[in-house]
């Protein structure tokens, strides 16, 4: 192999080994986790999973719960404001459909993932339109809800050629 006969590679491997040595030592140590913080963390994770209709934002002033349908409304309104979007449709992940549904929002803790189905005006590069929609939706959802949009999927389902 090249690495075994190359002095440069051997020097680099030795340096990496030297730099990683303290990390290996730490990884070998047994860590005892106190029960209180671990149980509290697990309780928070369980509550985020158990209540998938609401996101929870913790601040110094207390808790704010934001319904998935609120995230959907914010995302739909934001997407429809992007030039080139004819209509954005919405629904929340629990299956409740709005009258004009196809934005989907999943919420857990302070995170949200969204899927937006929209119809676009003909003539605009669709990948650029999708990027513009993502940016607008992320900014609006962060501003209005204080949630972190971890993923925004844009589905362009139709293109209109007439005004």
User: pLDDT (tens digit, 9 = 90+) per residue, 110-146?
Assistant: 888 999 999 999 998 999 999 999 999 999 999 999 9
48 or 157: which leads in pLDDT: 157
Residues 89 and 141 reside in one and the same domain: yes
Residue 37 forms part of a structural domain: no
Among candidate residues 46, 30, 26, the one with its CA nearest the CA of residue 38: 46
Residues 14 and 91 reside in one and the same domain: no
Residues 26 and 75 reside in one and the same domain: no
Render pLDDT for 5-63 as a digit per residue (tens, 0 to 9).
777 778 877 788 888 888 888 888 888 777 777 777 777 777 666 666 788 888 888 88
- Sequence-distant (≥ 6) Cβ neighbours of residue 145 within 8 angstroms: 55, 57, 66, 70, 71, 74, 112
Rounded-to-integer distance, Cα 155 and Cα 85, Å: 12
The pLDDT of residue 96 is 45
Residue 81 forms part of a structural domain: yes
Rounded-to-integer distance, Cα 115 and Cα 103, Å: 5
Number of domains observed in the structure of the chain: 2
The pLDDT of residue 94 is 44
Backbone phi, psi, residue 92, to 5°: -100, 165
Q: Which domain covers residue 24, as residue numbers? A: 1-30
The pLDDT of residue 77 is 93
Residue 43 forms part of a structural domain: no
Residues 10 and 68 reside in one and the same domain: no
Rounded-to-integer distance, Cα 44 and Cα 66, Å: 16
- Residue 87, H or E segment: strand 85-89
Mean pLDDT of 153-160: 92
Residues 146 and 71 reside in one and the same domain: yes
């Amino acid at each position: 192999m090249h690495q075994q006969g190359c002095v440069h590679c051997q020097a680099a491997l030795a340096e990496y080994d030297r730099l990683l040595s303290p990390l290996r030592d730490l990884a070998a140590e047994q860590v005892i986790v106190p029960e209180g913080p671990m149980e509290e963390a697990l309780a928070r994770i369980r509550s985020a999973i158990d209540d998938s209709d609401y996101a929870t934002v913790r601040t110094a002033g207390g808790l704010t719960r934001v319904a998935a349908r609120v995230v959907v409304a914010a995302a739909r309104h934001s997407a429809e404001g992007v030039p080139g979007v004819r209509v954005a449709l919405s629904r929340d992940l629990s299956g409740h459909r709005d009258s004009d549904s196809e934005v989907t929002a999943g919420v857990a803790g302070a995170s949200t993932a969204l899927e937006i189905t929209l119809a676009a005006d003909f003539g605009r590069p669709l990948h650029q339109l999708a990027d513009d929609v993502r940016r607008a939706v992320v900014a609006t959802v962060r501003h209005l809800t204080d949630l972190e949009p971890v993923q925004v999927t844009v589905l362009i389902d139709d293109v209109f050629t007439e005004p």
